[in-house]
Structure 1
Amino acid sequence: MEALLAALEGNALAQGLRFSRWGYAAVNTAHVLGIALLVGAILPLDLRLMGLWRRVPLAPLARVLRPTAAVGLLIAAASGALLFATRASEYAALPLLQVKVLLILSGASAALLLHRAAGADLAGAGAGRLRLHGALSLTCWLGALVCGRLLAFVGE
């Protein structure tokens, strides 16, 4: 594993980002943008699933917010992988990063399972299942957000 992490850190892109103030800043900004899209879309959708704003129809809301969240997740994951590569050995050793990744995988897996079980408009799921998913999703994504933010204050 150490050899893989060292190779990741040693690749040209990771080294270029590590030594480029503006390159690293651009990738970091993309990461923040991805997180903003993801959490900005997930939060209102999860709150709706949990029972808030019942007068707002769920299907059209989900039709807009789910693709927005998916794009945000893709941007955040791609830019996060680049940021990770700059100090892979150091980051891989941090339990906080491991928790963050577990929360991201849990949130994404739960969303895929709900989509598969309930359909694109979420009509195939009962209110109880939607409430449970909303609470689980909200916990996963906000937890990942907090863990990611705390990474700036641990290590070294």
Structure 2
Amino acid sequence: MEHSAGALQGPVILHWLQDGAIGRAMRESLWLFPAVEIVHILGFALLIGTIVALDFRLLGWRMAAMPVAQLASLTLPLSIAGFALALPSGLLLLTTEAAHVGVNPAFLAKMGLIFLAGLNALLLHRGAWRSVAAWPADAPPPGARLAAIASLFLWLGVLIAGRMIAYL
């Protein structure tokens, strides 16, 4: 639902987020915004760092001869923890300028790329990943390697789009 011409522009929910108590607190506090931004960056670093490690392993980069399934069992909890930090902190950051950021092309691209990265992971886990225990140590199947390449490009796009939000 959008406001009519002459009124506020953009979806009502974005104005509600921005004008609410959390949005005001995020804008008015000297330390709250920077603290939340640090949490968001740390969450994304943890999330993307662990995903990149697994993607490189799927592409054949051997890390101390660790099998893919073993590396995944170590990185998945850290990826989830990173996402658990990045998502709520990102929502808090959005509240500061939701009416502007929520319609920003870079923000929309970032959200779309995150969705596609999640879909890529889901397709990997519903496809090639089902036989991960049987993969040769040095040769993940082509579907897994393709998913790793897509993941690397999608997450790089997320980082670029996220940074571009401030400039558009």
With normalisation by structure 1, the TM-score equals 0.89
**Partner of residue 46 from structure 1, selected from 44, 47, 55:** 55
Does residue 108 of structure 2 align to residue 98 of structure 1?
A: yes
- Give yes or no for contact 2:26–2:95 (8 Å, CA) kept in 1: no
- Displacement of 1:40 in angstroms is 1.1
Query: 1:46-90: per-residue Cα shift (whole Å, max 9, x none)?
Result: 011112117331111000112211211121111111101110111
Identity %: 37
The separation in 2 between residues aligned to 1:84 and 1:27, in whole angstroms, is 11
- Structure of higher CA gyration radius: 2
Counterpart for residue 96 of structure 2 = 86
Residues 68 and 148 (structure 1 numbering): CA distance in 2 closer, same or farther, change over 3 Å?
Answer: same
What is the Cα-based RMSD across aligned positions, in Å?
1.8
Counterpart for residue 20 of structure 1 = 29
Greater helix share, 1 or 2? 1
The separation in 2 between residues aligned to 1:18 and 1:108, in whole angstroms, is 31
- Displacement of 1:124 in angstroms is 7.0
Residues 85 and 122 (structure 1 numbering): CA distance in 2 closer, same or farther, change over 3 Å?
Answer: farther
Where does the alignment leave 5 or more consecutive residues of structure 1 unmatched?
A: none
- Give yes or no for contact 1:115–1:122 (8 Å, CA) kept in 2: no
Question: Counterpart amino acid of 1:59?
Answer: A
- Give yes or no for contact 1:38–1:71 (8 Å, CA) kept in 2: yes
Aligned pairs for 1:7-156 (under 5 A) are 7-53=16-62, 55-117=65-127, 118-119=129-130, 122-123=132-133, 127-152=141-166, 154-155=167-168
